[in-house]
Amino acid sequence: MKAYIFPGQGAQFTGMGLDLYESSQMAKDLFHHANEILGFDITKIMFQGSPEELKETKVTQPAIFLHSAILAETMGSSFQPDMVAGHSLGEISALVANKTLAFSDGLQLVYKRALAMQKACELTPSTMAAVLGLEDGIVEQICASIEGIVVAANYNCPGQLVISGDVDAVNEACESLKQAGARRALLLPVGGAFHSPLMKPAREELALAIEATNFKSPACPIYQNVSTTAVIDPSRIKENLILQLTAPVKWTQSIQNMIKDGATHFIEVGPGNVLQGLVKKINPEAETSKATL
């Protein structure tokens, strides 16, 4: 069974999507439509912008969504998913790909999500850190013992977890994690504490936008970051998408459940190949590849 997976923030690069734009009239039309919806020339930033410009949350999130969603759309009949999943932001790309959301609705949600998260980041000095070489349970225990807000935010693969919270608490947790035997505990160059309680203001703002958006019955199940299991009910999909901003991304558990349900081939749709690497670490026997036109 084929599982299509969609990347999140961090996969961006200068020139992303240009090959798509140049090789497909449908892609070109969708990119122009995106510029109209957003009210600025995002294609120009994607194709020619500096890494600094692409790193701005209000650019990064729609840019990654566009690369992923437009590629899935232009694959036509060769895009035949049995199941889909997306890492954080990638969940909205996956919901457009499996026909739960219309392209324009997905893009508007992504942009509102990006702006809401940016605002939440500005309220409290906060950050994230990657922790390598420790069991999940030990990381969770140490985070729970720290004063202030610090939580497990991304379960990327066995031995690779990201923590998130206020700056002092994350720094303190990193020191304790190194003492507990972590191979590395290093701060990430991000603007805030994604997938932590500090995103609550963004979640409340995004909830209003999600509730006002039409979610249809999907063409195939989505394995969401919050639930990790197959979901096809539009009301549950909405609920999980709202919870996602303050809940951890349970990527390891989602991939394990997809494999348990019959996934044998994981195809990454969008910029980069990070997710293929994570799938291989979760299950070395899984087949992985990159989606192309």
Question: How far is residue 134's CA from residue 158's CA, in Å, rounded to a whole number?
Answer: 8
Kindly write down the DSSP assignment for every residue of 71-110, as one continuous string: HHHHTGGG---SEEEESTTHHHHHHHHTTSS-HHHHHHHH
CB atoms within 10 A of CB 29: 11
Active-site choice (67, 93, 195, 227): 195
Residue corresponding to tokens 């199941």: 83
220 three-class SS: coil
- CA 116: distance to chain centroid? 15
Based on the residue annotation, tell me whether 195 is a catalytic residue of this protein: yes
- All residues at 6 or more sequence positions from 219 whose CB lies less than 8 Å from its CB, including other chains: 81, 98, 99
Longest Cα separation, the chain: 55
Residue corresponding to tokens 């013992």: 145
What sign for the dihedral angle of Cα 257, 280, 72, 199? positive
CA angle (1, 104, 204) in 5-degree steps: 90
Based on the residue annotation, tell me whether 50 is a catalytic residue of this protein: no
Kindly write down the DSSP assignment for every residue of 137-168, as one continuous string: HHHHHHHHHSSS-EEEEEEEETTEEEEEEEHH
Active-site choice (24, 68, 88, 93): 88
User: Which residues carry out catalysis?
Assistant: 88, 195
